[in-house]
Chain A
Amino acid sequence: MLAYLIRRLFAVVLTLMVVILVTFGIFFIIPKWTGVDPATMYVGKQSDAQAIEAIRQKLGLDDPIVVQFWDFLRGLFMGRDYTSGADTVHCSAPCFGYSFRNEQPIWPVLTDRLPVTLGLAGGAALLWVIGGVVTGIVSALKRGTIWDRTVMTVALAGVSLPIYFTGVVSLAIFSYQLDWVSNEYTEFGTDPALWFSGMILPWVTLAFLYAAMYARLTRATMLEVLGEDYIRTARAKGLREPVVIGKHAMRSTMTPVLTILGMDLGALVGGAILTETTFSLPGLGQAAVAAIGERDLPVILGVTLLTAGAVVVANLIVDLLYAVIDPRVRLS
């Protein structure tokens, strides 16, 4: 068990290293081919050769990529100083980098945005798991009926709708036309009611998409499980049908659902790009898109790393959880 964990954690670290390396490559090497000096993006309307040189130095842009990579890694664990001339900025560990656009370390930017994304993902997940799983089960139990066909067609329609379409349509109706909800993120601490009002549409639209997927998944799994021998055994014992479904069938049905949920949540932590863009939520995904637009490499790197980390860790958790749920799974 311990050996397994150590090995998995090692794999996690390795994966993240590769992710950093690749991200580094994309944003350092390719721009070099295109002949654009990254330092020029930090100077204003009136650029000054001295300023460009200073920024290049401060960012270490002249160092070989290996050195830059090493500096970044060291910064992650030990923090680092950005020095140019007499001015030194300290970025304490975990130092994901320092944004010269905002004159602040990246980590607080990320931690600032993380709650938004977590709030979005968490709230939506609650809705879609309940909605998707319940409809999926009911559909499975009413297989072939009008209910089933209707729900499954709607679910198929659901997975066919891009969120930036449903999102904007819902905004047009509920925010612009009816003015029921706000189209701007308010922090929970500032005003919980406003926060809630601003989150409803993102939650519902995102949850609708996922609920559709989960309903399909749950239905299919449930149908498969209902065909299992042990369900017949449970019935043969004289168990009431709600117990058969609720205890025996659910336990098996939830395993794949939980797996997918873990991975989806992991991916959503950094990946609710479209939802956040559509609803102007200042989460990680939006930060990433904005950072790509601004070539704010430290932020891109930070979000990418955080996202990849979330996915990999979610995978690990799912695997561990699997071992808890399914006694047949041995961690080795």
Chain B
Amino acid sequence: MTTHRTSKRRLAAGSAVVVAALLTTAGCGGGDKKSEGSGPGFNAAQNKIANPSDKKGGTLKFIGTQDADSWDPQRGYYGFVWDYARYYTRQLITYKPAPGAQSKELVPDMATDKAKISEGGKRYEYTLRPDLTWQDGKPITSKDIKYGIERIWAQDVLSGGPIYLKDTLDPKGEYKGPYKDKHPEKLGLKAIETPDDKTIVFKLPKPNGDFEQMLAMPAASPVRQDKDTGSRYGQKPFSSGPYQWVSYEPKKSMVLTRNPHWKKSSDPVRKALPDKVTLTLITNSDEMDKRLIKGDYDIDLNATGIGQAGRVEALRKHKGNLDNPMTGFIRYAVFPQTVKPFDKIECRKAVIYGADKQSLQTARGGPQAGGDIATNMLPPVVKGADPKYDPYGALENGGAPNTAKAKEALKKCGHPNGFKTTIAVRNNKPVEVATAESLQASLKKIGIQAEIEQYDGSMTAGIIGNPAYVKKHNFGIIIMGWGPDFPTGQGFSQPLVHSKYILDNGNNNYSMLNDPKIDAKFTQAQSELDEDKAAKIYTEMNKLVSEHAVYLPFVFEKNVIWRSSRLTNVYTADSFNGRYDYQALGVVK
């Protein structure tokens, strides 16, 4: 008995030490001074340039936890890849290297000027700058650009990237891609013409006001045919930008050094300040935050925001190194109209009214790391957005649920005591599961019993992107997020609400919204070459969408991101989901 008591006591003593050690964190609640730390200030890189500088040299050290889906310019779809790709790719036109909303403006890159548009918006012509070179010194020709773009057509080999250009230039899919091309130079795509090495002409079957937005994507980057390694191109792309690839180990590291043949004089956009750019990929995001805060690395490649733990510490001690940009994403729930009882608008409204938006915001990470409570389905970064448009009173009472209206709606939809449904949520996104639980809890209060179904996040296209599957499995509420591929109504909303995006697989119009009035707005806006006029049309489109009550937006997403004190020339860019404009960054040595 003595022994036993002894060991128990030792055990108790041991666990007390453990608990005490852990509690030193928990214990330091209020007393801390909020310090700005060494950085230039909270949000110092928001809408302005922090540490402006033109000093060259040094090594810029990226760290990240997620590798690219592909570094192949035609295949990458992750936002950070598009931002990072400007190191080693060039486009005809690109986003303006300027802070905040200014970054959304398109400026010429390899082209001497923006397009000469003719034939009522169906012909775009560009002239290339002189002195454009590949990393081996050979000139970049219009044919290289055409070949690069043609690669988008080879979806059988190079899947994964955006296919806006393909859909716009060749909506019927007549061209089969360069690998099956009989043309001697593999340049058989009819919609693009290269009358000479310095000229490139795009011929659209019908006008699209956002066509230049599509050309600003890395997918429109040149690829030289003799350097094209097909599906393996992403392992080591051949550089047309200021930096070239030295080494890359997937999920581990990457080193870029200066491309000696790149000339500043030929590139009005890229700053190319550091001598070297390195990327380290690790697996643990908390460890990444720790290393960033410690100063071992300069910037988070993925920029998905500091994790909970790092955030608490950083906000407390290093607030000056943080920025809190809007990402352009909306986090939302969507109600497939094919699933009962969401075929009835009042049932959808009941969920919208019954949801506790503040709780959802907290689940997303609160006002700073989660974002502002969203009012409608057009994010503020998109032209034509109006965050004040709040048709369902999301902001009333600080985001609290409107139980009275919810109950009323339930009555109208014929389920006064609520109903049963399923919330579908990706299993690999803990935050989304948290929002699902929050929604579940608030719906329970108005009598709606929601079951949470965590589906395989990697199978999104085949599960929630498959309307038959959705219907069969009774996914009445789907939780998702969406960000703009380019900052216009088309770049954000079209896949979500346009009827032609209802697909058997890979559907993004989860609500199955099929309203000719909405479709017409897109046609109208796309043929409008004036951005501001197009924006107004999108505002109207958004109102139409809201009236259908198929979306319950949670937040206009914001992130808390880390900016190392070593960084110069830092600013967040709306065009890159609120990430820093990577090409502009420099480091103090």
Contacts and interface: CB of A to CB of B under 8 A. Distances in A.
B566 to A, nearest CB: 21
A104 interface: yes
Contacts of B250: 102, 104
A183 B506 contact: no
A47 B468 contact: no
Interface string A96-126: 0000001110000000000000000000000
A90 B250 CA distance: 19
Interface stretch (B112-120, B228-236, B341-349, B415-423): B228-236
Contacts of B456: 36, 293, 295
A148 B2 CA distance: 12
A48 interface: yes
A146 interface: yes
Interface in B1-25: 2-4, 6-8, 10-11, 18, 21-22, 24-25
Interface string B157-175: 1011111101000000100
A173 B18 contact: yes
Contact of B11 (A51, A145, A154, A296): A154
Nearest to A182: B287
Contacts of A86: 157, 179-180
Nearest to A157: B11
A134 to B, nearest CB: 19
A77 to B, nearest CB: 24
Interface in A40-82: 40-55, 57-58
Given A47-B503, A177-B25, A150 B7 contact: yes
Contacts of B505: 37, 40, 47, 49, 52
15 contacts: A35-B468, A36-B456, A42-B159, A49-B505, A51-B159, A85-B156, A89-B232, A102-B250, A149-B4, A154-B11, A173-B22, A177-B24, A183-B284, A185-B283, A293-B457
A177 B24 CA distance: 8
Contacts of B212: none
Interface stretch (B86-94, B127-135, B458-466, B548-556): B458-466
A92 to B, nearest CB: 15
B159 A184 contact: no
Given A42-B159, A157-B11, A87 B284 contact: no
Interface string B254-290: 0000000000000000000000000000111011001
- The listed residue with most A CB atoms (<10 A of its CB), out of B291, B309, B461, is B461
Interface in B214-245: 230-232, 234-235
Interface in B145-163: 154-157, 159-163
B61 to A, nearest CB: 15
A233 interface: no
Nearest to B24: A177
Contacts of B4: 149, 153
B70 interface: yes
Given A35-B468, A104-B250, A84 B283 contact: no
A176 B309 CA distance: 10
Contacts of B18: 169, 173
B495 interface: yes
Nearest to A89: B231
A42 B180 CA distance: 22
Nearest to A170: B18
Given A52-B506, A102-B251, A149-B3, 8 more contacts: A38-B462, A41-B461, A47-B506, A146-B2, A150-B7, A154-B7, A177-B25, A282-B283
B69 interface: yes
Interface residues on B, range: 35 or more
Contacts of B469: 35-36
A186 B203 CA distance: 52
A169 B22 contact: yes
A43 B506 contact: yes
B156 A184 contact: no
B287 A35 contact: no
A41 B458 contact: yes
Interface in A149-178: 149-150, 153-154, 157, 169, 172-173, 175-177
A294 interface: yes
Interface residues of A, number: 56
A182 B286 CA distance: 11
Given A146-B6, A177-B21, A183 B461 contact: no
A214 B8 CA distance: 21
B472 interface: yes
B161 A44 contact: yes
B12 to A, nearest CB: 11
Task: List the 4 closest pairs (A to B, CB-CB), nearest first.
Answer: A47-B506, A54-B156, A40-B462, A149-B3
A54 B231 contact: no
B543 to A, nearest CB: 26
Nearest to A47: B506
A294 B70 CA distance: 16
A270 B282 CA distance: 21
A153 B155 contact: no
B69 A44 contact: yes
A46 B161 CA distance: 7
B353 interface: no
Looking at B3, B77, B166, B495, which has the most chain A CB atoms within 10 Å of its CB?
B3
A43 to B, nearest CB: 5
A81 B134 CA distance: 32
A104 B232 CA distance: 8
B427 interface: yes
Contact of B459 (A40, A85, A145, A153): A40
B308 interface: no
Contacts of A172: 21-22, 25
B180 A103 contact: no
Interface string B284-306: 10110011000000000000000
A36 B462 contact: yes
Nearest to B462: A40
Contacts of B283: 184-185, 280, 282, 286
B6 A43 contact: no
Contacts of A177: 21-22, 24-25
Nearest to B463: A36
Contacts of B287: 175, 182-184, 280
B162 A46 contact: yes
Nearest to B507: A47
A172 B334 CA distance: 38
A41 B166 CA distance: 21
Contacts of B6: 146, 150
B428 interface: yes
Interface in B169-221: 173, 177, 179-180
B286 A183 contact: yes
A294 B230 CA distance: 24
Interface string B441-462: 0000000000000001111011
Contact of B156 (A84, A89, A149, A294): A84
Contacts of A184: 282-284, 287, 291
Contacts of A48: 155, 159, 163, 166, 506
A85 B461 contact: no
Contacts of A84: 156-157
Contacts of A102: 250-251
Interface string A23-46: 000000000000111111111111
A50 B173 contact: yes
Nearest to A46: B163
Contacts of A37: 462, 466, 505
Contact of B159 (A43, A150, A282, A295): A43
Interface string B15-40: 00010011011000000000000000
